Amino acid sequence: MERISIDHEDVVGADYSGRSLDKFSAQGSTFTDCKFDRVKVGDASFGAGTEQSLYVGCSFDRASLTSLVGYVRFVGCTFRNARFVRPGADYLEFVDCSFTGRTTGLELRGAPHGAQNRYEATLRGLARQGKPEPPGYRELALRPSNQIHGNDFAGAELVGVSFRFGVDLTAQKLPTGDDYLYLPDAAAAVRRAVAAAEQEPSELAGKAKFFLEDVLQREIDYGQRQLLLRPKNYERSKVVPPHILLAVELLKR
C-alpha cells in the first residue's frame, strides 16, 4: 500500500480522495482546501513529530482513519459519514467543523490526559538521539486544554462518539431527538439519579446505580461537566441492557 509523508509544507487544494494508504504522515504542515474524501488510512499520523499540523477547509467525507494521532487541528473541515478507528485523542482539536451522517468511533478530549508522562518520554527519546528539546514543544505538549468549539454535530448520527476530559458541550451544536439524552449539569443529574436508584431495592436498580456511579461519575470526575448519552451505543447483541435503560430513565426524571 502507498505511504505519504509531508514535512513542513503548505499544501493547497491537494486531492487525496479515494486513496488507500498504509500511512499518511504530516509534520509541521498546513493543508488548505484539500480533499480526503473516501480515503482509507491505516496509520493516520496527521500531526507527527513535535509540531502541530493544521487542516483548514478540508473535507473528510466518508473517510476511514485508523490511529489518528498527533498534534492536529482541524478548522472548518467537513466530516460526513466519517469513520475513526482507535483515535489518539489527546491532542486533536476541532474548530468550526461539520459532522453529518453516520460518524463512528471519534473521541474528543477537552484536555490532554497523561501529558506530563508523554512529554518526558519524548524528551528521553530525543536525548538518546542526541537531540535537544525543540522550541515550543513544551508549550504544545503540556497545554492545559484543547480547542474544541463551534462544531456542528446536529445532522450526525453519533456511533461510539464520546466527549471527555472537559469538552464544553455548550460550545457545540448537538444532535437532538429520542436517541439522545443531554445533561447540561451532569453532576447534579447523576446525583439525583443515584438517589432515586437507591429507593428501588432491586438487582436491576443496583446495576443501574453501578453504571451511574462507575461509568458516568468517572467522566464527571475527569472534568466533563455536560454529558451527551446515546443508549443505543451500549447495545449488546443489538439490545440495550435493561439496567442502562433504567439508568437513562432515572436521569430523565
- Contact between residue 79 and residue 62 where contact means Cβ atoms under 8 Å apart: no
Partners of 72 in the beta sheet?
Answer: 53, 92
Residue 1: pLDDT band (50, 70, 90) is low
Give 234's DSSP letter. Answer: G
Question: How do the domains of the chain map onto residue ranges?
Answer: 1-175, 177-253
Q: Which of 158, 155, 177 is nearest to 234 (CA)?
A: 158
Give residue 223's pLDDT band: very low, low, confident or very high (50, 70, 90): very high
Give the per-residue pLDDT at 200: 82
Strand partners, 25: 5, 45
The amino acid sitting at 36 is F
Where does the pLDDT of residue 215 fall: very low under 50, low under 70, confident under 90, or very high at 90 and above?
Answer: very high
With a CB cutoff of 8 Å and minimum separation 6, the contacts of 168 are 110, 148, 149, 225, 226
pLDDT at 237: 86
Give the whole-number percent of the chain exceeding pLDDT 70: 100
pLDDT at 225 over 70: yes
What mean pLDDT, rounded, does the chain reach? 95
Q: List pLDDT tens digits, range 21-73.
A: 999 999 999 999 999 999 999 999 999 999 999 999 999 999 999 999 899 99
Q: Which CATH class is domain 1-175?
A: mainly beta
Nearest C-alpha neighbor of 216 from the set 158, 164, 148: 164
Banded model confidence at residue 87, pLDDT cuts 50, 70, 90: confident
pLDDT digit string, tens, across residues 137-178: 999 999 999 999 999 999 999 999 999 999 999 999 999 999
CA 203 to centroid of chain Cα atoms: 34
Cell of 33: 482546501
Taking the C-alpha atoms of residue 146 and residue 144, their distance in angstroms, rounded to an integer, is 7
